[in-house]
Chain A
Amino acid sequence: NAGVTQTPKFQVLKTGQSMTLQCAQDMNHNSMYWYRQDPGMGLRLIYYSASEGTTDKGEVPNGYNVSRLNKREFSLRLESAAPSQTSVYFCASSERGAQAFFGQGTRLTVV
């Protein structure tokens, strides 16, 4: 049982480059999330999707876009990467009112 799978695990970008972080879950969950973790800041919600076809901004959405491609997949796109987006990104999924399951994370460095 794979759970939540994120790709890639590591990425180095130059300022201004774009990239898409991929996330897929095999638990048939309706809700999916993207968080970023920075030292001393905990886990901050970037975007979430309560169900297929819906997305909502979280606490720190600026500089990001998301796509809920289908029930399984929720991607995060950086259109023009900035050094401030250097972080560890986590995707998660859950059913409403239940625990969320997290992926292993993507460590992104923007130089």
Chain B
Amino acid sequence: DQQVKQNSPSLSVQEGRISILNCDYTNSMFDYFLWYKKYPAEGPTFLISISSIKDKNEDGRFTVFLNKSAKHLSLHIVPSQPGDSAVYFCAASDWGSNYKLTFGKGTLLTVNP
């Protein structure tokens, strides 16, 4: 049973436009959500996070939105740049499981010049 789902394996956008990556979760106990970015042959790197007590967190070009009632979160990248091309993983955790991270399958974002 997949607890964190990223239903879009890939997304292609034009440089300068908005990229929206989506993530759904099924475990209502999750209370901390993160986005990671991964380039080929490198380890994932942390991008942005959000606690369940918030519905939005912003860091520069990156904004994460959380809709708890829908068990849905999204990552907005504005404006998108070619260097943003990577695989993006959504992850979630909760205090009951010692905050171990559960990841989605990832979305490959391609930003075209």
Contacts and interface: CB of A to CB of B under 8 A. Distances in A.
B49 A42 contact: no
List 6 tightest A-B contacts by C-beta distance, closest first: A102-B43, A42-B105, A50-B98, A43-B103, A99-B46, A96-B99
A35 B106 CA distance: 14
Given A33-B100, A35-B103, A45-B102, A102 B45 contact: yes
Interface residues on B, range: 20 to 34
Interface in B16-69: 32, 34, 36, 41-46, 49
Given A97-B32, A99-B49, A102-B45, A31 B103 contact: no
Contacts, number: 64
Contacts of B41: 105
A39 to B, nearest CB: 10
B104 A42 contact: yes
A45 B89 contact: no
Interface residues of A, number: 27
Interface of B: 6, 9, 32, 34, 36, 41-46, 49, 89, 91, 93, 95, 98-106
A41 interface: yes
Nearest to A97: B99
B29 to A, nearest CB: 13
Given A35-B103, A42-B89, A45-B101, A100 B43 contact: no
